[in-house]
Structures are given as structure tokens and as C-alpha cells.
Chains A and B, each alone.
Chain A
Amino acid sequence: MLSAALDRFGVEHGVPRESLVDLQVALDEIVSNVIKYAWPEGGTREVSVRMTARKDAVDIEVIDDGEAFNPLSVAPPKRSPGRKPRIGGVGIHMVKQLMDRVEYARTDGRNHMIFTKRCILGVPPPIEEAR
């Protein structure tokens, strides 16, 4: 389970709870988007997730071998007053707000979505050691 893997990563690297929640939401939005749209013809396909902990940020990269598609090109959802909201585009719009950086690249026939959450990782060292 992807969210369980991210939970373990969060515990291991001391990711603050609120940042971990933001990352969980973003990861679910990006991966579910890939599963829904990347492979219209079905079959056995590949999606991989790489999580990197830096001193002051977490990077997550989602790579899939589906059709070229940049979710960042999707226009933000429009709300007309008095009209019912439509859900299309809401997920990626949330990712953009939750993350400090979101990038898309098409490399070697694969879609790469990279998103970054800035946060201080791990327990701060005692003052003596920090000097």
C-alpha cells in the first residue's frame, strides 16, 4: 500500500505530521490520476514512486510509462455562482496548493511528476551539537 510506505518513510525521517498529511494527499491525487488516465488500453503497466528526504524538504517523484500527459496543463476548476461544483481538475489544483513545488517532465517515454514539500525533518539536535 502506497500510503503505508509513505507513512513508514515519514516515521523514519521524522517528517512533521502536517507535512506528511499534505504529502499523502498529493501522492494519492497524482497516482490515482495516472491509474485513471495514463493507459487507456489497459494491460500490465508500470508506475514507480521515489521518495527522497532532504534536510529541509521531501521530494516525491511518480514515474509512469503511460501516454504523455502533463496534469499541470489542466485549467483550474471553475466555479460559477449558483452552479454545482464539478470535481474535474480539483485534485491537481489541490496538489499545487499543498506542495511548494510541482513539476512535470516527459523523459525517455515516461511521465515524471515531481513534487516537493518543504519541512524540517528529524528531531532537532541538542544546542551543544548544533554549534
Chain B
Amino acid sequence: MTSGNALTIAESRSGAVCVVALSGRIDSTNAEQLMLRLTQLLSAEEKAVLVDFGGVLYLTSAAFRALLVTADEAERNGARFVLCGVVGQVRELFEMGGLLDAFTIHGSYDEALARLG
């Protein structure tokens, strides 16, 4: 049943933008794995990272911590770090955590790419 708990991190590229599509659950058991991957991308000189939450079932405060660390790292590296696909229950969780305005969140994947491009 561990597959039910899996977080999938899929990476692709659209021009200069590194797109990270997440699916599954982000909780205390795997948030660090996400943080490591995102900060690695920034260390590898990625200057625009877009994280798509469209496939995420839920996330906990451990995920917010990972995202805040990544956003700080992006700022230090002069990189842009933006989110999209933050909808439904996932959006409600961002709101409850008081973090909806802590990140740059675009309404859709296409809009995010257009803004970053």
C-alpha cells in the first residue's frame, strides 16, 4: 500500500522553464525529498522553476516548509519560483496555512508559462 502514499516528482522543460509536476501526497514522510529536489534544481542554475500542483491530493505543513525553503533559495539565486494548479482542497490548505500570498501562484499552467517565458 506504500504506492498509495507516493509522491511523484516529474520534471520536464519548456524553453527556459523547468517544470516540476507533482502528484500524490506531500506530507512529513516525503516533504524533505521534494525540498532536496527543488533546491538541487536551483543549485544547478535553473533560473525559472514552475511547480504544478494539479495532481496533488493534499499537502501538510511539512510541504509548506519545503516550499518556503525553496522560495528563499530561489531568491538568493536570483531565480523565479512559481506555482500553478493550486485548486480545490489543495488551495484550501494553502489558505488555512496562511500561505496563499507567500508564493507567486498562477491560475493555470499556460498562464504561468506565459508569464515566465
Contact = CB atoms under 8 A, between A and B. Distances in A.
A63 B102 CA distance: 34
Interface in B60-75: 60-62, 64-65, 68, 72
A33 to B, nearest CB: 9
Given A24-B25, A32-B28, A87 B5 contact: no
B4 A7 contact: yes
B98 interface: yes
Interface string A83-122: 0110100110110011000000000000000000000000
Contact of A25 (B5, B93, B98): B93
A65 interface: no
B98 A79 contact: yes
B109 interface: no
Interface residues of B, number: 25
Contacts of B96: 93-94, 97-98
Contact of B1 (A1, A18, A85, A98): A1
Contacts of B93: 25, 94
A86 to B, nearest CB: 9
B65 A87 contact: yes
B12 interface: no
Contact of B4 (A4, A18, A25, A91): A4
Given A29-B60, A77-B98, A79-B98, A3 B25 contact: yes
B99 A3 contact: no
Contact of B58 (A4, A21, A93): A21
Contacts of B58: 21, 24-25
Nearest 10 pairs between A and B by C-beta? A32-B28, A91-B61, A4-B1, A28-B27, A90-B61, A28-B60, A87-B65, A85-B102, A21-B58, A94-B96
17 contacts: A3-B5, A3-B27, A3-B29, A4-B2, A7-B4, A21-B89, A24-B27, A25-B58, A25-B59, A28-B28, A32-B60, A32-B62, A79-B98, A84-B68, A93-B98, A94-B61, A94-B96
